[in-house]
Amino acid sequence: MTQQLIIFDTTLRDGEQSLQASLSTKKKLKIAFALERLGIDIIEVGFPVSSPGDFSSTCTIARNIKNSKICGLARCVYRDIDVAAEAMKSAESFRIHIFLGTSYLHVASKLRKTFNEIIEMAVCSIKRARKYTDDVEFSCEDAGRTNLDNLCRIVEIAINAGATTINIPDTVGYTIPSQFQSIIFSLYKKVPNIDKAIISVHCHNDLGMAVANSISAIQAGARQIEGTINGIGERAGNTALEEVIMAIKVRKDIFQLYTNIKYKEIFRTSKIISEICNMPIPSNKAIVGSNAFSHSSGIHQDGVLKNRKNYEIIVPETIGLKPITLNLTSRSGRAAVKHYMSEMGYKENVDYNLNDLYSTFLKFADKKGQVFDYDLEILAFFNSEIDSFEYFKLKDFNVKSNLDGISCLLIKLMCGSQLRTEMETTKKGLMYTIHKVLNKITSINIIIKNFHILVEENNLSTVVKVNVEVRYNNRSFYGVGTSLDIIESSIRAIIYVLNSIWKIQQVNIKLKQHL
């Protein structure tokens, strides 16, 4: 019979500990709502005794979250437990999660107690927590480095004291999968009352094995996984929950488990947390990275177009993403070029010659790097020299700003052979002002979707590179601008986009002339 794997999210507690500054209650609530919508079973919302802010945000989240269980962390200290219970009292149901070091290192050097004293602290704290709730989780901190006999002993006693979930953390990411799996197997074999509690694992990624250790623990019988979205957390981070969740789904033939996760919310939740925590997702990040479902090799692109299963084990739409992305680079083959032309409505041997276009494309891609669909469209109807042609050229600009937030920008722009000048004064920020002035000059009304600044420093100067993504006529265009000055880089990035749009407009004019 298929069993449930409980998903325990600690993004708001362990994840937040990795941030440079604490999140506001409003931001924490937004994350909590996203986790609830995702279908997370238990949300560890904070460490209420640690600060007034953490207490307040725990209270707020407890009042507002209805479909996920709320959990608060506490040390084996009565005041911690009492404060956690007070913070969560408005929740329909809640869990108190208490932890205590069990490894010789933690017992001797951090807590400076005997193991018998540790056991007594654990028992008293569990009983204290049971006065507030019948859902108590006990964590054996640094379990990965705890003597196995001691670990079995304290787990048995903790369950007898009333703990309903026992967490086995690899607190410093020290173990390897086979070792961690052996620990879980041993607990099931040696602890006589193990069936009276759920075994959970909480793995850190110091050696890059948090997900692998969690998976090995599941195979040994663990039925709760603790982690964070995007794997954020102290030091190298925690188990990335989205990776475990999708492993369980994709390899259900092995695990035969289910979760309550709403898979189509995975990408949106990942993006929300990335933006709020100001922690960009690496492009090669499993499941949610920008390259996770993109294909650059011509062989791979051809295989995917014939059957997505050739090179994709997860359908992108499953996690709320759009279908496959074929990156057009010099490594791409004819199949990808033909696919993009077909997507834009062009027919081979009717509207264009594939061999001619592909030959031009390769030369263009070697020079530019990544090619976009509109670049192909331009190459198909004009020779490659049009890429070097700039209808819009920056002639000069002047900007003034003050502490009141007022920006005054003047731009002189060559439009073909004409020099046009416009000025704008606003309080809406520099990018808005640049956008407004260029719109006045060109009459091309774009919407800026993304704006990224990269500063490159060397011994001689600081170079600012600006990348922009804009929408025009329900289509995405991309631009880049480089300069020693951030304002000039921003202007040049948008002008880059405007030139691409102008070229597409020429394609449309040429097509209409042939009708």
Question: Domains along the chain?
Answer: 3-277 (3.20.20.70), 294-368 (no CATH), 392-514 (3.30.160.270)
Question: Can you give the pTM of this predicted structure?
Answer: 0.80
What was the pLDDT predicted at 372?
82
Q: Any bridge partners for residue 168, and if so which?
A: 201
Phi-psi domain of 228 (left: phi exceeds 0; alpha: psi -120 through 50; beta: other): beta
Q: Which two tokens stand for residue 116?
A: 């018998």
Query: Measured between alpha carbons, how far is 408 from 178 in angstroms, rounded to an integer?
Result: 64
Residue 14 known to bind ligand: yes
What was the pLDDT predicted at 459?
67
Return the closest-CA partner of residue 278 out of 456, 490, 466, 23.
Answer: 23
Q: Compute CA 13 distance to the chain's CA centroid, rounded to the nearest angstrom.
A: 17
| 444-483 per-position pLDDT tens digit | 999 888 888 888 877 667 888 888 998 999 888 888 898 8
In one letter, which amino acid is 271? K
Angstrom CA distances, 23 to 14, 31, 146, 278, stand at 12, 10, 33, 11
Tokens 């030091």, residue?
235
| 66-112 per-position pLDDT tens digit | 999 999 999 999 999 999 999 999 998 999 999 999 999 999 999 89
Q: What is the mean pLDDT of residues 247-256?
A: 94
CB 293 within 8 A of CB 316: yes
pLDDT higher than threshold 90 for residue 43: yes
Residue 238 known to bind ligand: yes
Dump the DSSP string for 310-376: GT-SS-GGGGT--S-EE-BSTT--HHHHHHHHHHTT--BTTTB-HHHHHHHHHHHHHHHSSB-HHHH
Tokens 């035969």, residue?
256
Query: Measured between alpha carbons, how far is 120 from 122 in angstroms, rounded to an integer?
Result: 5
Strand pairing report for 257-258 and 294-295 = unpaired
CB 57 within 8 A of CB 84: no
pLDDT higher than threshold 60 for residue 220: yes
What was the pLDDT predicted at 294?
66
Return the closest-CA partner of residue 66 out of 13, 29, 14, 25.
Answer: 29
What was the pLDDT predicted at 170?
97
Q: How would you class 488 by CB atoms within 10 Å of its CB: exposed for 0-12, middle for 13-18, buried for 19 or more?
A: middle
| 383-434 per-position pLDDT tens digit | 655 666 789 999 999 988 777 777 788 999 999 999 999 998 887 777 888 8
Percent of the chain with pLDDT over 70: 94
Angstrom CA distances, 162 to 81, 157, 169, 215, 240, stand at 15, 9, 19, 27, 30
What was the pLDDT predicted at 49?
96
Residue 435 known to bind ligand: no
Burial 353-364 (b: 16+ CB within 10 A, else e): ebeebbebbbeb
Return the closest-CA partner of residue 74 out of 125, 116, 28.
Answer: 125
What was the pLDDT predicted at 213?
98
A 10 A CB-CB count for 351 gives 15
SS (H, E, C) 10-72: CHHHHHHHHCCCCCCHHHHHHHHHHHHHHCCCEEEEECHHHCHHHHHHHHHHHHHCCCCEEEE
Residue 9 known to bind ligand: no
Q: Which residues contact 385 (CB under 8 A, 6 or more apart)?
A: none
Sheet (strand 418-426) strand order: 392-401, 407-415, 418-426
Q: How far apart are the first and last CA of the chain?
A: 64
Angstrom CA distances, 465 to 157, 183, 456, 459, 489, stand at 60, 50, 8, 17, 6
Phi-psi domain of 296 (left: phi exceeds 0; alpha: psi -120 through 50; beta: other): alpha
| 183-206 per-position pLDDT tens digit | 999 999 999 999 999 999 999 999
Query: Measured between alpha carbons, how far is 388 from 375 in angstroms, rounded to an integer?
Result: 12
Q: How would you class 395 by CB atoms within 10 Å of its CB: exposed for 0-12, middle for 13-18, buried for 19 or more?
A: exposed
pLDDT higher than threshold 70 for residue 217: yes
Query: Measured between alpha carbons, how far is 317 from 185 in angstroms, rounded to an integer?
Result: 36
Q: Any bridge partners for residue 42, and if so which?
A: 8, 69
